[in-house]
Chain A
């Protein structure tokens, strides 16, 4: 197989000016991967800083309700409240190894940017986050935290002023700053080596989950559910079970308003994704017949993306991973149900995995043992989740707060 390919997917479709940069990163990544001490250091750091191993919580009430044994992998308990911490800390250690002092990253809703900013603060790096100007306006809470953590947030005003323009701006920075700067991509997408490298750091989820379920059940699970945006949390947990074909792996994409409406981000489950090349890699994209990327929709910003990890695209074509979608409506209902039964507050992204599992549970064999990857917690996204619930009390609060600020500004 060609380097950086997973079946026919992946590759490095990058401008020539970045060739050398990617070469040097690939060399550093491969050297780290070949050195067991690097991985041991990573695991120690994650134990000490991010509370790993995260628990595999037995969902007692939910299990009673559905008459199946349900476990929840608690990535929500990570530093900054999501699996993103695994990737940023791993790449942070790689930066130290490469002698880099400055980190740049793109961010959409701001979660990856915030995770990167915490890593930079902890490791003493200069940090610049590129964020679409529109996203800067919409996600003030995350911008607030990034700036307080010491990062510089650069609003990107070119193109559509959203995530993809932030990626392009970060790449432009990197071309001129490679000597001291690392570009920290947030998911298992993009040009080689990012899909493989990010999946490697996230594999800590799956290796823990496998040990934990064997300890709890004395057997492997029958089903594993994970939400899929770019695909890093799904790759993380699936890697613990890929070699066990008896474990059914289910990736859950954003069904948005429903597949039939066309307003979704289900590249694989909808059947409407087609193979293409964009943003540096080959995979299934939601695109028109000219090859232009389409607008996607999801209540969860982290799943609202046109492409999907080339590794998952490959596992889709081989049939090893099954893909399904959950609609915005199902997702909000599942979030509510998990909160009320188990007292857990999943992120909207992670609620997709919950929604799909709850939908399928009644049809699974009674001896089924299910793991749901809870990739992140929801309470940090209170603005978005309050909107998703259309909460009247929250709206009154924001109005009153705005009025108070307006008054202060006048005084």
Chain B
């Protein structure tokens, strides 16, 4: 099987395929923390998610100071480290996983210090060589990240993913959007604005501002856990991001249940 194209054409292609097959035009991106509960459990969950047709997967390399993560993911980072997780293991695991699932677009998510400690150029070189399609580094904003962004641009097929948030001004969104490659990750927050209706209106406004700022596809994470959540994003964004909910199901019902959960998210 030949390698998948870079992120943006990959996303457009998969959306077109879904439309052609009469399915809803939305892709799923899952997230998991490497080494939590264990690499073996990660492998089973990834296999189950791939079988359920999840198009993109975010593999998080644990860090001791995960300042951008909520309590559940922060705890998973700490547990993986307490059990002796090493970055070299995580990279080897990612490499093997990408080889096993060539149909899936894999991204690495981690914090800047993991790249700094490894050597920024070396880390990006390694990621590109093993076929990682995107890097998400939430504590490395674009004005600080010129070096790793240039390193990614120099390599075909590996994109530095930009993040949009509702607190960003239009000017800021524009600045970030100019540097976007692959897709933009829109960090929405369910609950912050109160009622469901308020949230929907606020999300519409936010996503409209994101569209103004970039022509790349949009991925939206806001604590998606139900088919209704995914449905509500269809036609508004290209990718629904599912993180904490899948982790909770994995811990409660095991890796196989994760596959059923993802299948159930897109009944159409």
Cα A164 to Cα B63 in complex, Å, equals: 13
- Let me know if B118 is at the binding interface, CB within 8 A: yes
Question: Do A168 and B74 form a contact, CB below 8 Å, given A16-B138, A277-B139?
Answer: yes
Q: Contact between B163 and A16 (Cβ–Cβ < 8 Å)?
A: yes
B110 to chain A, nearest CB (A): 9
- Let me know if A15 is at the binding interface, CB within 8 A: yes
Within residues 57 to 86 of chain B, which ones have a CB less than 8 A from any CB in chain A?
63-68, 70-71, 74-75, 77-78, 81, 86
Cα A18 to Cα B139 in complex, Å, equals: 10
Q: Contact between A14 and B116 (Cβ–Cβ < 8 Å)?
A: no
- Let me know if B164 is at the binding interface, CB within 8 A: yes
- Let me know if B234 is at the binding interface, CB within 8 A: no
Q: Contact between A15 and B78 (Cβ–Cβ < 8 Å)?
A: no
Within residues 302 to 332 of chain A, which ones have a CB less than 8 A from any CB in chain B?
none
B30 to chain A, nearest CB (A): 21
A124 to chain B, nearest CB (A): 27
Chain A count of residues within 8 A CB distance of the other chain:
37
Q: Contact between A280 and B64 (Cβ–Cβ < 8 Å)?
A: no
Query: Which of A29-37, A94-102, A231-239, A288-296 touches B?
Result: A288-296
Question: Do A19 and B116 form a contact, CB below 8 Å, given A14-B141, A159-B75?
Answer: no
Please name 19 further chain A to chain B contacts, defined as beta carbons within 8 Å, in addition to the given A158-B74, A168-B74, A291-B116, sorted by A numbering: A12-B144, A14-B67, A14-B141, A15-B139, A16-B187, A17-B68, A20-B167, A158-B71, A159-B75, A164-B64, A168-B67, A175-B167, A176-B189, A277-B111, A277-B116, A280-B67, A290-B88, A291-B117, A292-B81
- Let me know if A165 is at the binding interface, CB within 8 A: yes
Cα A165 to Cα B78 in complex, Å, equals: 11
Most chain B beta-carbon neighbours within 10 Å: one of A13, A165, A274, A293: A13
What is the chain A residue whose CB lies nearest that of B113? A291
| 28 sample A-B contacts, Cβ–Cβ < 8 Å, listed by A number | A11-B144, A12-B144, A14-B139, A15-B68, A15-B138, A15-B165, A16-B138, A17-B167, A19-B141, A20-B167, A158-B71, A159-B77, A164-B64, A167-B67, A168-B66, A176-B189, A176-B192, A276-B117, A277-B111, A278-B111, A278-B113, A290-B114, A290-B117, A291-B113, A291-B114, A291-B117, A292-B64, A293-B65
- Let me know if B112 is at the binding interface, CB within 8 A: yes
- Let me know if B222 is at the binding interface, CB within 8 A: no
Question: Do A171 and B67 form a contact, CB below 8 Å, given A165-B74, A176-B192?
Answer: yes
B108 to chain A, nearest CB (A): 14
Cα A280 to Cα B65 in complex, Å, equals: 10
Question: Do A276 and B144 form a contact, CB below 8 Å, given A158-B75, A176-B192?
Answer: no
- Let me know if A287 is at the binding interface, CB within 8 A: yes
Cα A69 to Cα B75 in complex, Å, equals: 52
Within residues 117 to 132 of chain A, which ones have a CB less than 8 A from any CB in chain B?
none
Closest 5 CB pairs of A and B: A291-B117, A158-B71, A15-B68, A17-B165, A291-B113
